Amino acid sequence: MTNIINAISAWAIPVLIVFIPLYAAYRKIPVYESFTEGAKGGFDTAIRIIPHLVGMMVAISIFRASGAMDMLIGLIAPFMAKLGIPADVLPLALLRPITGAGSLAYTTDLIKTFGPDSLVAQIASTIQGSTDTTLYVLTVYFGAVGIRKSKYALRVGLFSDFVGFFAAVAICYLVFA
Amino acid sequence: MVNWIWLFFILAGFVVAAMNGNIGAVTEAAFEGAKTGVTVSFGLISVLVFWMGIMRIAEDAGLLQKLAKLLSPFVRYLFPSVPKDHPAFGYILSNMSANILGLGNAATPAGIKAMEELQKLNPEKDTASAAMCTLLAINTASITLIPTTIIAIRMNFGSQNPTDIVGTTLAATAIALAAAIALDKWYQRRSASSHTPPPAKPPAAGK
């Protein structure tokens, strides 16, 4: 299992980088022109994140530097220790469904504080990448067509986030610890 | 909600810093945080520019449609209430394919189009239909092949192996998606069997 997961990590990107242009060339697409045309959008996408990421990084940095983060983590650590989960990732589980920028900033904070190759950072990276911002998706998709009663949709989304969180922790322990 | 969370972090930080007699840390942390935010965003440029270039090649080569074709039996299983040749299917498929390839900019419009089509089939216009809940469940779990943003951030902080979370992310996202689908199917079965036995029949026959 661990071998398969590590193989995917190592092979996914190289295979896509070769396969996609190769297939496109076979379909007679001018691959390089296509590449540069699409790549233009990357700059704007990165720049558009700045206000969100700065706002959230400022708030989380203050929270950590003041000592408030340590108080919060100290409070939940005994409970999380029983479950065998690093307490530092729990705030991420709460932020992830609510705010995409906030959870990205928190993940960045963990990567910065503990180092990118620490288990905490690996778990956080896995959680951040494996699910979307449930409340945002709900608001955008249902809001667009005027749905006001979402029935069980929110419960399904949050349940999926909950399962994804524990799955991420378990898998990272399996692969990295 | 986001407004309150943001305010909470800043306010709680201020109060704790003041209590600890460490108020100078607030100013320093604020500017340091802003700096990190900008540095990280700039760090995203390289990976995003490269990846969006590759993804445009995939789009131009018609790989989205290929992927959609592969997903089509799976989507039929997920949306039993949508008639066979309904346009909603096309949009649902492009929404899912774009999500898998990490094309957020293409996924959202397709998802909203799909919602609009599903709304046409929806008898109660202000209440989500079963199919709408399913589409939402898939999108909140968001299967993405390559988590580019996270890889870029890990790279920026000097990771030895920034992509080693690709496999774990894919495994976690698959489990989260399976959980979403299982619970969604369970709710569908429950509301179909116990909740509304009389009106359940006519729409079923109409489809």
Residue pLDDT, tens place only, A7-32: 999 999 999 999 999 999 999 999 99
**Residue A130 structure tokens:** 């494996």
Count of domains forming chain B: 2
Q: Is residue B56 part of a domain?
A: no
CB contact under 8 A, B54 and A68: no
This model of the complex carries an ipTM of: 0.92
Q: Is residue B55 part of a domain?
A: no
**In a shared domain, residues B110 and B196:** yes
Q: Is residue B16 part of a domain?
A: yes
Q: Is residue B51 part of a domain?
A: no
pLDDT at B104 over 80: no
CB contact under 8 A, B5 and A98: yes
Average pLDDT, chain A: 94
Among the partner residues B30, B147, B172, nearest to A167 by beta-carbon distance: B172
**In a shared domain, residues B80 and B166:** yes
Q: Is residue B197 part of a domain?
A: yes
Are A114 and A86 a contacting pair, CB within 8 Å? no
**In a shared domain, residues B81 and B174:** yes
| CA-only gyration radius of chain B, Å | 22
Q: Is residue B54 part of a domain?
A: no
CB contact under 8 A, A42 and B160: no
**In a shared domain, residues B96 and B130:** yes
Structural domain for A148, as ranges: 57-176
pLDDT score of B25: 93
Structural domain for B162, as ranges: 62-206
Tell me the pLDDT tens digit for each residue of A36-48. 999 998 899 899 9
Under the banding of pLDDT at 50, 70 and 90, the label for residue A123 is very high
Neighbours of B196 (CB within 10 A): 11
Tell me the pLDDT tens digit for each residue of B32-67. 999 999 999 999 999 999 999 999 999 999 998 899
With pLDDT > 70 as the criterion, what percentage of chain B qualifies? Answer: 93
Q: Is residue A75 part of a domain?
A: yes
Q: Where are the beta strands (DSSP E) in B38-169?
A: none
**Residue B56 structure tokens:** 């445009």
Q: Is residue A143 part of a domain?
A: yes
Among the partner residues B34, B45, B53, nearest to A46 by beta-carbon distance: B45
pLDDT score of A172: 96
Q: What is the pTM of this model?
A: 0.90
**In a shared domain, residues B22 and B99:** no
Phi/psi at B100 (nearest 5 deg)?
-60, -40
pLDDT at B142 over 70: yes
**In a shared domain, residues B177 and B109:** yes
Distance of alpha carbon A173 from alpha carbon B17, whole angstroms: 34
Q: Is residue B116 part of a domain?
A: yes
Q: Is residue A126 part of a domain?
A: yes
**Which of B112, B117, B136, B157 should we substitute to test contact with A (largest number of A Cβ atoms within 10 Å)?**
B136
Distance of alpha carbon B183 from alpha carbon A34, whole angstroms: 41
Count of domains forming chain A: 1
pLDDT at B165 over 60: yes
**In a shared domain, residues B112 and B200:** yes
Average pLDDT, chain B: 89
Question: Quick one: CA dihedral A108, A112, A117, A120, positive or negative?
Answer: negative
Distance of alpha carbon A80 from alpha carbon A76, whole angstroms: 6
In sequence order, which residues have a C-beta less than 8 Å from that of residue A106 and are 6 or more positions away? A56, A60, A91, A92, A95, A124
Q: Is residue A109 part of a domain?
A: yes
Q: Is residue B201 part of a domain?
A: yes
**In a shared domain, residues B131 and B170:** yes
With pLDDT > 90 as the criterion, what percentage of chain B qualifies? Answer: 77
Under the banding of pLDDT at 50, 70 and 90, the label for residue B101 is confident
Q: Is residue A38 part of a domain?
A: no
Among the partner residues A35, A68, A153, nearest to B137 by beta-carbon distance: A153
**In a shared domain, residues B38 and B85:** no
List chain A residues with CB under 8 Å of B179.
159-160, 163-164
Under the banding of pLDDT at 50, 70 and 90, the label for residue A131 is confident
Under the banding of pLDDT at 50, 70 and 90, the label for residue B202 is very low
**In a shared domain, residues B190 and B125:** yes
Under the banding of pLDDT at 50, 70 and 90, the label for residue B203 is very low
